[in-house]
Amino acid sequence: MRKDDMILISVDDHIIEPPDMFINHLPAKYKNDAPRLVHRDDGTDVWQFRDTVIPNAALNAVAGRPKSEYGLEPQGLDEIRPGCYDVHERVKDMNAGGILGSMNFPSFPGFAARLFATEDADFSLALVRAYNDWHIDEWCAAYPGRFIPMALPAIWDAELCAAEVRRVAEKGCRSLTFTENPAALGYPSFHSEYWNPLWKALVDTGTILNVHIGSSGRLSIPAVDSPPDVMITLQPMNIVSAAADLLWSRVIKEFPTIKIALSEGGTGWIPYFLERVDRTFEMHATWTMQDFGGRLPSEVFREHFLTCFISDPLGVRLRDEIGIDNICWEADYPHSDSMWPGAPEELHEVLTRYDVPDADIDKMTHLNAMRWYSFDPFQHIPREQATVGALRAASADHDVSIQSRSHRIIAPEEKLEGYRQRARAATAAAAKS
């Protein structure tokens, strides 16, 4: 397949929320308590929510910046591409990057919206609903066929969470962001019956549960004096734990049509994981009393789990061992792992290297995403206008040049010291918990 003929739908990108997102959707009685973006005298932007201040409003939004500016988060919206928070500019960036469709995870509320779990349950629910309505009715609706809507959960209450899944499903939203480890956030684990109302709502509405790396709030923490490369290398490890936790859980057996996406988890590790779970079943099922109805765990995994990759040449090469119907591509815009705007070139090089047939390319680049998320962009956009080549031709004058956007030059030594300070704080917090 020619590069320009590919159709790309990314199942993992990110929004840097705009300052006015709550204006049209939060009940009037809560307006004064709504999270607000505050521009400080030092040029930084922070989200302030009652007594809580969330720094790094532009979390890891480094797309279009030189790699020398990676390593310390942008401190304000004026240091990032407008496409991070402006939907019109986002679509221009998507066009220039050859990307037809995108599913966008939240930033400042956290992947599981734990920030919105206040002492006031009514206010908490109003925040979640306001965010979801803004995301579905403004961000996604601005360009039909370009975005897969994703909802935040009411993480603090399984019944409310289930009701919100059903409410947004009526709006056409079939995707829910969730945590990879609810117990790490102080809630019952995946193995508890507490979450049964949520699982039932998901299967009743055909909604996908998306567990994103880092969504437990705890990345794998190496030794406090280790270099940051260790932490970056270990980032997918929590998603491996979540996959094992869910695969062996009662959820899969009692809700046999549930679907789960392992977002930004990569794919190269999965063939070994599947060998390991089958070996575990073979050796230990007699005393652990696991029963998959005559099937192997690897077969059950392929029925329930969607895997996602950015580049991952090994995963592409081993796609048949993973399951070609269970793989989706992701761009991770605007984060540092993103290949934007050169994603089609890098992806095509990998696909060509392993002589991937057109049918497999189509599944991984868009057909699987459309099927899993009940998303049909071609109701709104003719297929011939949806290819990499056609989208780029429509935005030929859009500036995608690499530009320095930092207000000040930060030496690598200062970045490393900032990392070490955060690592020590994270280690101390983990020890207390």
Condensed to tens digits (0 to 9), the pLDDT of residues 62-83 reads 888 877 776 655 667 888 899 9
Between 367 and 408, where is the model more confident?
367
Residue 122 lies in a domain: yes
Does residue 431 or residue 312 have the better pLDDT?
Answer: 312
Model confidence at 55: pLDDT above 80: no
pLDDT-derived band at 410 (thresholds 50, 70, 90) equals low
Q: Is 411 left (phi over 0), alpha (psi -120 to 50) or beta?
A: beta
Sequence-ordered list of residues with C-beta below 8 angstroms from that of 118, at least 6 positions apart, any chain? 50, 124, 127
Q: Which domain holds residue 174?
A: 7-432
| 88-122 b/e (C-beta count within 10 Å ≥ 16 → b) | eebbbbbbbbbbbbbbbbbbbbbbbbbbbbbeeee
- Look at residue 94 and tell me if it is in a domain: yes
Within a domain: 117: yes
> Mean pLDDT over residues 136-141, rounded?
98
- Percent of residues, the chain, with pLDDT higher than 70: 89
Span 173-202, mean pLDDT? 95
Distances (CA, A) of 161 to 12, 64, 152, 246: 22, 36, 9, 19
**Cα–Cα dist 179/214, whole Å:** 8
Two structure tokens written together for 352: 């060509």
Residue 194 has pLDDT above 90, yes or no: yes
Instruction: Give the pLDDT band (50/70/90) at residue 418.
Output: low
Omega before 18 cis (within 30°)? no
- pLDDT at res. 220: 55
Give the pLDDT score at 128.
98
Lowest mean pLDDT among 210-219, 244-253, 350-359: 210-219
The CATH number given to whatever domain includes residue 100 is 3.20.20.140
- Evaluate whether residue 2 is within a structural domain: no
Closest C-alpha to 59, from 102, 103, 111, 9: 111
- Report pLDDT for 42: 75
Q: Tokens standing for 431?
A: 């020890």
Burial class (CB in 10 A: 0-12, 13-18, 19+), 245: middle
Q: Inform me whether the pLDDT recorded for 365 exceeds 80.
A: yes
How does pLDDT run across 298-337, given as a tens digit for each residue?
999 999 999 999 989 999 999 999 999 999 999 999 998 8
1 within domain boundaries: no
Average pLDDT over residues 35-49: 84
What's the mean pLDDT when you consider all of the chain? 90
Closest of 177, 195, 312 to residue 249, by C-alpha:
195
Total domains in the chain come to 1
